Amino acid sequence: MQTQLKVKLSFFNFLQYFIWGSWYVSMGAYLANTLKFGGQEIGAAYGAFAIGSMISPFFVGLLADRYFSSEKMLAVLALLGGITLCLLPRFDTFLPFYSTLILYCALYTPTLALGNSLALSHLKDAKTSFPRVKLWSAVGWIGGGVTLTLLKGEQNAIQFYLAGGASIALAIFSLMLPHTPPQKTDKNISVGELLGLDALSLMKKPSFAIFIGCMFLICIPLYFYFVMMGIYLTELNWTHIAGKMSLAQLSDIVFMFMLPIMLKKLGYKKTIFLGILAWAARYFCLGGSVNSVALQAPLIFGAILLHGVCYDFLFIAGQLYVDDEANPKIRSACQGFIAFILWGVGAFVGTMLAGKVLAMNETVDAAGKTVHDWGSIWPVPAYLSVGVLIIFALFFREPKVEPAEESE
């Protein structure tokens, strides 16, 4: 039974991230070259994901906890999301496109937390099996990008139809996932529960509060990478940038296999510490690449290949930590809470700060081309990451968690 479950959950993650990878990276080129949107409009469009994350996961998580089974909620969200994606190409002016994109992101982002919660509810050996199920998300992301490239859809509306079709397929497949009924069926619901304060109750634990604070803080330097990496490589005259950056997802797959071993040997604190350390190392590599001709390419590829440690040892390990800390009745709300922190508030603050730092270090060269002082930019997220690392190392305490049961 567990083998069949793992296959289903793996395919679910593949489809879920195939959708995301089909449009997220390429949307900027579509907006700039096809719709002729300006830089601020493109930045706002990418910020729609953060807004969607802040609007919905908390409340959808609470609905899943209380009223609807998780697999049915996933199916409805994926179906509505697929329809919304297919509507996006109808809009060629900013406000209608932006509003529709926010709606789509509000439908998509809660599926990340719900999918995690469903998987963690059914996997018997979560610390071992969950990372191996999640590695298929990296395969799905690569698959979405490769399929889009084969369809030559990077700068046209094909990307949204591709993602929309995959989303409708996800809706159908979600109904094949194991039944996950709402945990809360009692009729007496407190005001605190209605407001979603169940998840916040864990903040009374000092280490959990430190963990949430550090996850928020690390998201601020994190988005410097996503906002700036493509611009940096373009200014260095690199070609086939998307293909080279996809090495990050290959790294993701490798380190996802390593995560269960690291958690078993090192525990949560040391594993998450390594994840935060990797973010600092990534930015120091990029900073060092600015003025180093001989080592420039190795340092940049090193920064890209650190992605597996950056993501898996921090975010996947973090989701497992939250699952261990939360009781079953508030599991969906807690996964929604961490998604709210990471992809909502953290993303919003991180992208805003990254944009300001980029603008502060922007100049126009003699040829009239916009260039940036990367030697001043990359140290900012590097030192921010070091600050988060110090806070986490000093104040987070390893939780006392019972060993996970072995799988069948």
Do 166 and 207 have their domain in common? no
Please state, as a whole number, how many other Cβ atoms lie within 10 Å of the Cβ of residue 403. Answer: 8
Q: Is 223 found in the same domain as 156?
A: no
- For residue 202, tell me if it sits in a domain: yes
Q: Is 21 exposed, middle or buried (0-12, 13-18, 19+ CB in 10 A)?
A: buried
Length of the chain equals: 408
- Residue 396: the pLDDT is 94
Residue 18's domain is classified under what CATH number?
1.20.1250.20
Q: Among 275, 276, 282, which Cα is nearest to 301's?
A: 282
Domain boundary among 183, 218, 246: 183
Domain's final residue, options 142, 157, 183: 183
Residue 8 in this model has a pLDDT that exceeds 90: yes
The predicted pLDDT at position 184 comes to 62
> What does the angle CA 220 – CA 224 – CA 230 come to, to the nearest 5 degrees?
155
Q: Which of 91, 279, 70 is nearest to 179 (CA)?
A: 70
Query: How far apart are the C-alpha atoms of 113 and 318, rounded to whole Å?
Result: 12
In a domain? residue 369? yes
Does residue 214 form part of some domain?
yes
Do residues 174 and 267 share a domain?
Answer: no
And the tokens for 75?
């199916």
Mean pLDDT of all residues belonging to the chain: 85
Query: Mind giving me the DSSP string for 228-274?
Result: HHHHHHHHTT-SSHHHHHTHHHHHHHHHHHHHHHHHHHHHHHHHHHH
Q: How far, in Å, are 23, 29, 101, 325 from residue 38 at the CA level?
A: 18, 11, 17, 44
For residues 123 and 74, membership in a common domain is answered with yes
Q: Looking at 54-63, 258-267, 337-346, 389-398, which range is the least confident one?
A: 54-63
Q: Is residue 350 part of a domain?
A: yes
Query: pLDDT tens across 164-223, in order?
Result: 999 999 999 999 999 988 766 555 555 445 444 567 778 888 988 999 999 999 998 998
The predicted pLDDT at position 288 comes to 96
Looking at residue 105, what is its pLDDT?
92
pLDDT at 59 over 90: no
Kindly state whether residue 395 falls inside one of the protein's structural domains: yes
65 vs 73: CA distance, rounded Å: 11
Please determine, for residue 84, whether its predicted confidence score (pLDDT) is greater than 80. Answer: yes
Q: Report yes or no: 192 and 333 within 8 Å, Cβ to Cβ.
A: no
Res. 325: pLDDT tops 70 = yes
Say which DSSP state 43 is in.
Answer: H
Asked if residue 407 is part of any domain, the answer here is: no
Phi, psi (deg, nearest 5) at residue 364: -115, 125
Give the mean model confidence (pLDDT) for residues 100-106.
94
- What is the pLDDT at residue 195? 42
Distance (Å, whole) CA 355 – CA 106:
23
Lowest-confidence region among 71-85, 121-135, 202-216, 312-326: 121-135
For residues 73 and 104, state if they share a domain: yes
Between residues 1 and 341, the one the model is more confident about: 341
pTM of the model: 0.76
Residue 137 in this model has a pLDDT that exceeds 80: yes
Based on the fold, state whether residues 231 and 135 are members of the same structural domain: no
Q: Is 99 found in the same domain as 170?
A: yes
Residue 212 lies inside a defined structural domain of this protein = yes
Give the pLDDT confidence score for residue 186 in this predicted structure: 56
pLDDT computed for residue 198 by the predictor: 65
Among the listed ranges 1-5, 108-112, 336-340, 360-364, which one has the minimum average pLDDT value? 336-340
Going by C-alpha positions, the residue among 119, 142, 117 that lies closest to residue 17 is 142
Distance CA 404, CA 350 (A): 35
Pair 101, 68 in one domain:
yes
Q: In whole angstroms, what is the distance from residue 208 CA to residue 311 CA?
A: 19
User: Domain count of the chain?
Assistant: 2
| Domain coverage including residue 237 | 196-400
On whether residue 405 sits in a domain, the answer given is no
Mean local confidence (pLDDT), 359-365: 83
- 242 and 303 share a domain? yes
Tell me what the mean pLDDT of segment 261-265 comes to: 91
Q: Residues 384-398: pLDDT tens digits?
A: 999 999 999 999 998
User: Do 178 and 213 reside in the same domain of the chain?
Assistant: no
> Is pLDDT of 101 > 80?
yes
CA distance 111 to 88: 20
pLDDT at position 200 is 77
Do residues 276 and 388 lie in contact, with contact meaning Cβ atoms separated by under 8 Å? yes
Give 35's DSSP letter: S
The residues near 190 (Cβ < 8 Å, ≥ 6 apart) are none
Which among 122, 153, 183 is the end of a domain? Answer: 183
CA atoms within 13 A on the CB side of 16: 27
Q: Above 80 in pLDDT, residue 340?
A: no
Tokens (6 digits) for 35? 């719709």
> If 0-12 CB within 10 Å is exposed, 13-18 middle and 19+ buried, where does residue 11 land?
middle
Q: What integer is the mean pLDDT of 259-276?
A: 93
Split at pLDDT 50, 70, 90, the class of 15 is very high
> Based on the domain organization, do 115 and 229 belong to the same domain?
no
Give the pLDDT of residue 191: 45
Per-residue pLDDT reduced to its tens digit, 225-261:
877 887 788 788 887 776 777 788 889 888 988 998 9
Residues 217 and 88 in one domain: no
More confident residue, 143 or 406: 143
Return the number of other C-beta atoms located less than 10 Å from residue 398's C-beta.
12
Could you give the C-alpha distances from 371 to 86, 235, 354, in angstroms and in order? 36, 7, 15
